[in-house]
Structure 1
């Protein structure tokens, strides 16, 4: 059996892994953390490498060894757990995290400079 992948699939997987490690958060967040760390730069860099690179790499290894999908990995606990965990994971990554973050960035960069800040009487939630 031939286990080698064609070059096109290797290229696609390589680009996906590159995107995972070099997203906008890693490009913007790391310099800001380094700047704010001051004399604690090495501690900040170590923490960022552990959380921003190490945990992602650990997740890739776990998924690869666990069958390639979140469902297969989570089904080792229980099939019902796999379904619930997968649904909660994708909800947390999409509607609960990415969509609010994206809309707040669009508001701060594109809408607020044009129309100004929203008056307090229009706020839905008070913090």
Structure 2
């Protein structure tokens, strides 16, 4: 399954088109997320993660809300994301759906496979 991974490495997360945020409690990293600019009106949620000990605490929701707020500030019309289909992705998928994301077609050169799925949030309204 490694050939289906779409995660950004450190150099990808430091690219000019990517803004990366972290959430901390003291010196403990609770989670992180990133927003990639695809064009003037379209952003991509990248690398959303909550530390295992922080799962279920609202950290993921707070990071996602921050990313959405930043996308609105940038006047993006749409946010998209790519995520997995395995059971371990179910909590993230539920989070995205609760924030209004819906299933969509692949975007930005991604290829569909049985191991990934695509979601979007329309922000233009």
Structure with higher strand content: 2
TM-score (norm 1): 0.21
Structure with the bigger RCO (C-alpha within 8 Å, sep 6+) is 2
Q: Which has the higher helix share?
A: 1
Q: TM-score under structure 2 normalisation?
A: 0.22
Larger Rg: 1
